């Protein structure tokens, strides 16, 4: 049987009441942290009564306090994007699938319905990169539904987008206002002087990365944490453990020359460092990330124990506050730009961002997953919560080519 999704034409959901107009600045972090990319993800819910109606109304209500989200990205000065508070609203698509969630394995990989069918798109006359957020509700014959979201990374980081969607959930559940009051305050973040770029422009190689999904059990994670504490008398996080496993296993699997560089890159949250900079950090939904990178030779990584690699990651995170504060005060620290070659892997932790806590009135999602299958320039790994009731961390690996995939996955599972 072929599974099909029938979509209604996209409609604009505008704020439920009148909202301020004018333009709002983006912060220096918004403008450096992200090019104008759209982040696409899907949340799967096992049941809901008329979710397309309830959630649509909830978006309209949430867009009143979060009125910038109903606007558009504009660029009156080249290279300086802003948010134009037009109050137009967000594009919203209602869709129905001709199957049960069970028939398509609850949208587990490999997807049995093309992702394009599950994601909202505006009418063809509309510029996609000017949109701030779009939503699609797809209903399945079993009574379950999926919410496909596309949001602009220029306006939100993951935590910020989750905060907005939690506010939509608050409205859908009948709360009079969002639990967390939104804060814009982008202008409060300093604009460090631009460092003139020197050197050749970056070159991009397209790799043939394969997508694999593996699960790391809570037992494995806790065993490594306990061992680290026993050896160092310090604590480490789940992120530290998983990132060390990936960095070490991948360096071994890709078999670069001993002297070749292998690198791990990730965007670390700086929300805790913005107290005193922002009027209030609670409610701020802009980008609060700073790039962190670790570079070693292939030989150093192969000789390092897992505990030593965990320490490297902890040290890099500890150095973040100094580097970030230095950057904000216009110091010499430039963003860590990793070369985009086969030696580099970037990791992103979606397991604690907040998308798994969005409740539109029928409980939290069974599963949330991101769609980044078309990125072939840099190796990436995304950490997800596995579908309930499973525990642990699900890794969506897209960072090695076919010839290295089996060894990389096998090595990860040995931990």
Q: Which residues, at least 6 apart from 77, have a Cβ–Cβ distance to it below 8 Å? A: none
Mean pLDDT of 158-184: 97
Sort 53 into a burial class: Cβ within 10 Å, 0-12 / 13-18 / 19+.
exposed
Split at pLDDT 50, 70, 90, the class of 205 is: confident
Q: What is the pLDDT of residues 336-388, one digit of tens each?
A: 567 889 999 999 999 999 999 999 999 999 999 998 667 788 999 999 999 99
pLDDT of residue 329: 80
Residue 36: closest CA among 139, 150, 126, 146: 150
Judgement on whether residues 182 and 263 belong to the same structural domain of the protein: no
- Does the pLDDT at position 201 exceed 80? no
Bridge partner list, 85: 22
- Does the pLDDT at position 243 exceed 90? yes
Q: Point out the least confidently predicted range of 141-155, 175-189, 302-316, 374-388.
A: 374-388
Pairing of strands 344-349, 22-25: unpaired
Q: Catalytic residues, which ones?
A: 153, 359
116 within some domain: yes
Q: What is the pLDDT of residues 248-287, one digit of tens each?
A: 999 999 999 999 999 999 999 999 999 989 999 999 999 9
- Does the pLDDT at position 60 exceed 70? yes
Judgement on whether residues 146 and 246 belong to the same structural domain of the protein: no
Give the position of tokens 């967000």: 90
- Does the pLDDT at position 198 exceed 60? no
Judgement on whether residues 223 and 180 belong to the same structural domain of the protein: no
* Cα–Cα distances in angstroms (integers) from residue 61 to residues 92, 225, 284, 377, in the given order: 14, 44, 19, 39
Two tokens, residue 112: 């049995």
Residue percentage of the chain with pLDDT more than 90? 83
Judgement on whether residues 225 and 98 belong to the same structural domain of the protein: no
Split at pLDDT 50, 70, 90, the class of 141 is: very high
205 within some domain: no
What CATH number should be reported for the domain holding residue 219?
3.30.559.10
User: Could you tell me the residue range of the domain that residue 155 belongs to?
Assistant: 5-188
pLDDT of residue 202: 61
Judgement on whether residues 156 and 288 belong to the same structural domain of the protein: no
Judgement on whether residues 223 and 93 belong to the same structural domain of the protein: no
195 within some domain: no
Q: What Rg value do the Cα atoms of the chain yield, rounded?
A: 22
Residue 115: closest CA among 188, 45, 166, 42: 42
pLDDT of residue 334: 58
Judgement on whether residues 134 and 241 belong to the same structural domain of the protein: no
Determine contact, residues 156/34, Cβ cutoff 8 Å: no
Judgement on whether residues 307 and 244 belong to the same structural domain of the protein: yes
What is the value of pTM for the model shown?
A: 0.94
Q: In 243-385, where do the E strands start and end?
A: 261-269, 289-297, 344-349, 367-370, 379-384
Q: What is the pLDDT of residues 34-44, one digit of tens each?
A: 567 889 999 99
Q: What is the pLDDT of residues 73-93, one digit of tens each?
A: 999 998 899 999 999 999 999
Split at pLDDT 50, 70, 90, the class of 332 is: low
Determine contact, residues 114/56, Cβ cutoff 8 Å: no
Split at pLDDT 50, 70, 90, the class of 192 is: confident
pLDDT of residue 34: 57
pLDDT of residue 340: 84
pLDDT of residue 395: 97
- Does the pLDDT at position 153 exceed 80? yes
Which of 68 and 29 is assigned the larger pLDDT?
Answer: 68
269 within some domain: yes
CA distance linking residue 57 with residue 4, whole number of Å: 26
pLDDT of residue 336: 57
Mean pLDDT of 228-233: 98
160 within some domain: yes
Total tally of structural domains belonging to the chain: 2
CA distance linking residue 228 with residue 160, whole number of Å: 32
pLDDT of residue 73: 97
Judgement on whether residues 256 and 382 belong to the same structural domain of the protein: yes
| Diameter over CA atoms, the chain | 62
Split at pLDDT 50, 70, 90, the class of 32 is: confident
Judgement on whether residues 178 and 218 belong to the same structural domain of the protein: no
Mean pLDDT of 180-184: 97
Residue after which a domain boundary falls, among 132, 155, 188: 188
Residue 375: closest CA among 359, 399, 394, 395: 399
- Does the pLDDT at position 197 exceed 70? no
What's the mean per-residue pLDDT of the chain? Answer: 93
91 within some domain: yes
Residue 370 DSSP SS3: strand
Judgement on whether residues 244 and 171 belong to the same structural domain of the protein: no
* Cα–Cα distances in angstroms (integers) from residue 159 to residues 171, 188, 223, 353, 407, in the given order: 19, 19, 29, 5, 34
Judgement on whether residues 163 and 285 belong to the same structural domain of the protein: no
pLDDT of residue 326: 84
- Does the pLDDT at position 195 exceed 60? no
Mean pLDDT of 329-333: 68
Residue 93 DSSP SS3: strand
Q: What is the pLDDT of residues 302-324, one digit of tens each?
A: 999 999 999 999 999 999 888 88
């Amino acid at each position: 049987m072929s599974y099909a999704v029938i979509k209604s034409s996209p409609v604009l959901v505008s704020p439920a009441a009148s909202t301020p107009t004018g333009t709002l600045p983006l912060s220096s972090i918004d403008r450096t942290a992200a090019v104008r990319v759209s982040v696409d993800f899907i949340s799967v819910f096992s049941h809901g009564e008329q979710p397309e109606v309830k959630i649509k109304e909830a978006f309209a209500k949430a867009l009143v306090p979060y009125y910038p989200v109903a606007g558009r990205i504009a660029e009156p000065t080249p290279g300086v994007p802003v948010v134009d508070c037009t109050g137009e609203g967000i594009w919203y698509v209602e869709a129905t699938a001709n199957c049960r969630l069970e028939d398509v394995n609850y949208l587990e990989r490999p997807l049995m319905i093309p992702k394009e069918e599950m994601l909202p798109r505006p009418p063809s006359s509309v510029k996609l990169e000017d949109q701030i957020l779009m939503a699609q509700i797809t209903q399945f014959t079993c009574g379950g539904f999926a919410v496909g979201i596309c949001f602009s990374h220029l306006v939100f980081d993951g935590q910020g987008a989750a905060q907005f969607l939690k506010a939509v959930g608050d409205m859908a559940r009948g709360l009079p206002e969002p639990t967390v009051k939104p804060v814009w305050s982008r202008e409060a973040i300093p604009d460090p002087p631009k460092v003139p770029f020197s050197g050749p422009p970056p070159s991009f190689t397209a790799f043939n990365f394969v997508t694999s999904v593996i699960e790391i059990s809570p037992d494995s994670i806790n065993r490594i944490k306990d061992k680290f504490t026993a050896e160092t008398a310090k604590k480490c996080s789940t992120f530290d453990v998983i990132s060390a496993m990936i960095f070490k296993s991948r360096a071994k699997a890709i078999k670069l020359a001993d002297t070749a560089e292998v690198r791990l890159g990730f965007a670390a949250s700086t929300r805790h460092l913005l107290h005193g900079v922002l009027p209030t950090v609670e409610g701020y939904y802009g980008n609060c990330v700073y790039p962190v990178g670790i570079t070693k030779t292939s030989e150093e990584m192969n000789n390092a124990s897992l505990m030593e690699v965990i320490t490297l990651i902890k040290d890099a995170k500890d150095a973040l506050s100094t580097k970030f504060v230095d950057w904000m005060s216009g110091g010499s620290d430039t963003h860590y730009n990793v070369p985009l070659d086969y030696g580099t892997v970037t990791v992103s932790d979606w397991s604690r961002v907040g998308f798994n806590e969005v409740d539109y009135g029928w409980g939290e999602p069974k599963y949330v997953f991101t769609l980044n299958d078309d990125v072939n320039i840099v190796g990436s790994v995304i950490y997800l919560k596995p579908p309930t009731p499973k525990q642990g961390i699900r890794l969506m690996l897209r960072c090695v080519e076919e010839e290295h995939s089996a060894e990389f996955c096998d090595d990860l599972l040995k931990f």
